[in-house]
Amino acid sequence: MGSYLPGIFTPHRKGTKDVSVARIENVQTVTIPMSMHIGKPAKPVVKVGDLVKVGTKIGEADGKISSDIYASVSGKVVRLADFLLSNGATTTAVVIEADGEMTKEDVSAPVINSREDFIAAVKQSGVVGLGGAGFPTHVKLDVPAEKIDYLLINGAECEPYITSDSVTMLTRRDDILYAINALNRYLGVKNIIIGLEKSNKKVIAAMQELAASVSGFSVTVKVLPDKYPQGGEKVLVYHATGRKIPAGKLPIDIGCVVLNSTSVAAIGSYLRTGMPLVKKCITVEGGAVKQPQNVIAPVGTPLKELFELCGGFKEEPVKIIYGGPMMGITVPNADVPVIKNTNAILALTKKEAKQPKSTACIRCGACVNTCPFGLAPVNIAEAYEKEDVDALNNLSVNACMECGCCSFVCPGNRPLVQINKLSKNLIREKAAKEGNKS
C-alpha cells in the first residue's frame, strides 16, 4: 500500500511465545489503583476494614469515561493509599491484605436482552483497552450500529518481546468466540476483522479456525506486515480496511471500532461467567530475567512477585518497564503493581538500558520518512528548543503516538520521542497558564 504509514522493522524477540504460562494463584497484598484507564478515576466504594472477595466491586466508575474496578483477591481492605501514576498525577489505591482463600463473589452471567443491556454488561465487566491504551471499552462500543462498518480485533503485537495477546488468543478462543457472537447479536456488527502479523502463524491458524466456525456474519483474519507499529490504531485500520483516519479524527469517524484481542477475551469471559476483570496475562521479559515467560496474575500484584516466579534475576536490572521497549514506561521499582492494562513487564540489564550518546542532527530526513503519521520530528525538536509553542502546534506534535520509530532510525541517536513528550507538556503548560489568566 505504498509509502503511507511506513513503519520500521524491529527485532521480534518473541522467545516467550512457546513457553508454558505460569500463574500466581495467591498473593499476600494487592495494591489496586482507582485509575487504570483513560478518563476519571473510579470512586472507591470500600473502606478500611471491609472484607472483600474476588470480584467484589471496590471502585465505581465516576462519570461517562471511567471504569468499574474489582477486588482481585479475597481478604481485608487495610489501606486507602495515595498512588503515584506514571503521568505524575496521584490517585487513590485500595490495598487489600489477602486471606489466602481466593474466595469468589457469587456471580452469574449477566442477563442480556438488548443493546443497552450489552453495553451495561461491558461496563460492569471493568474491561478497558488492555493492549496498553486503557480506554473504557463500553464507551467505545456505545455508538449507533449503523456507524460501525468494521469491528477490528487488534492482535498485532508489534512491540518486541510482548506475546501475552498471542497467548490469550491461543488459550481463550471460547471467550473470544462468545464475545464476537455477542457483538454481532447485540450491536449488529456484521464485519469483524482480526488483524495479525504475518509471522504469528500459530495464532493466524487458530483465529482462521475460529472465523470459519462463525455463521450468519463475516469474521475474517487479515494477515498484516511484520512491521512496527502495526498495532497502532491508525496503521491497523489502514492495512485492514484501506481506510485512512484523518488527523484529529477517531476510527469511528470512518466507520471502524478497534478492540484489543485480550479485551475481547475479557468481555467474553464476563458475559459467560459474570466474573469481571480481576487478572491479567503478562509477558515477563528482558535480559535480566532468568526464565522469561507469560504469567497470569491478579491485578494489583507487585511486579517483584512475577519476576520471582520467573526465577528472579540473572543480574540486577537497571531499568524496569511497564510495556514494551518502544512505548513502555519506566517504573521506579519492582514494588509497583500489575494494573489492568499491563501487557508486559521488562527488566533490562545495564547493557540493554544503555542510551547511546546522541550527536548533532545531520538533516538526513530519516525520522520524517519513517513517522507513521507524517510528522516532522526534526522540526519539532527545533521548535521545542526555541520553546515555540505555536510552531509545535502547527507541527501537530499532539498527533504523535509516541511509537519511537523516529528515535529508532535516527543515525544521531537523538531522543526525538522524549522531545515530543516534553513538547506536549510545554503546550499543556502554556494552555494552563493562559486558562489561569482568563
Binding site for ligand SF4 (CB under 6 A): 361-367, 370-373, 375, 377-378, 400-406, 410-412, 414, 416-417, 420
Report CA-CA distances (Å) from 358 to 106, 351, 365, 414, 415.
57, 17, 16, 5, 8
What angle (nearest 5°) sits at the alpha carbon of residue 381, between those of residues 377 and 383? 115
Q: CB-wise, 348 or 367, nearer to ligand SF4?
A: 367
Q: How far apart are CA 135 and CA 36, in angstroms?
A: 9
Smallest distance, ligand SF4 to C-beta of residue 190, A: 32
Q: Could you tell me the smallest distance in angstroms from the CB atom of residue 182 to ligand SF4?
A: 34
Q: Are 237 and 401 in contact (CB under 8 A)?
A: no
Cα–Cα distance between 56 and 141 in angstroms, integer?
24
Element containing residue 60 per DSSP (H, E): strand 57-60
- Distance from CA of residue 337 to its chain's centroid? 15
Minimum CB separation from ligand SF4 for residue 344, in Å? Answer: 19
CB count in 10 Å sphere of residue 104? 14
Nearer to ligand SF4, 235 or 295 (CB): 235
Minimum CB separation from ligand SF4 for residue 158, in Å?
A: 12
CB of 367 to ligand SF4, least distance (A): 3
Concatenated DSSP letters for 350-413?
A: HHHHPPPPP-------HHHHH-TT---HHHHHHHHHTT-HHHHHHTTGGG-----HHHHH-TT-
DSSP category for residue 264: H
Alpha-carbon distances of 147 from 13, 119, 179, 187, 203, rounded to whole Å: 38, 16, 19, 11, 29
DSSP helix, strand, coil percent of the chain (3-state; round to 5): 35, 20, 45
If the CB atoms of residues 195 and 372 are measured against ligand SF4, the closer one turns out to be 372
Distance between CA atoms of 56 and 45, rounded to whole angstroms? 10
Nearest approach in angstroms of CB 228 to ligand SF4 is 10
The CB-of-69 to ligand SF4 minimum distance in angstroms stands at 31
Question: What are residue 282's phi and psi, to 5 degrees?
Answer: -130, 135
For 360, the grid coordinates are 548533532
Residue number, 33 or 229, with CB nearest to ligand SF4: 229
Q: How far is the CB of 75 from ligand SF4 (least distance, A)?
A: 42
In whole angstroms, the minimum distance from the beta carbon of 436 to ligand SF4 comes to 29
Identity of the residue, 141 or 405, whose beta carbon is nearer to ligand SF4 in the bound complex: 405
Beta strand residue intervals within 274-349, DSSP E: 279-285, 293-298, 319-322, 329-331, 344-348
Alpha-carbon span 364 to 379, nearest angstrom: 12
CB of 413 to ligand SF4, least distance (A): 8
Cβ-based nearer residue to ligand SF4, 89 or 362: 362
**Closer by beta carbon to ligand SF4, 33 or else 404:** 404
Nearer to ligand SF4, 317 or 372 (CB): 372
- Using the minimum distance from each CB to ligand SF4, give the nearer residue, 383 or 401: 401
Cell numbers 529508532 correspond to: 408
- The nearer residue to ligand SF4, 95 or 405, going by C-beta atoms, is 405
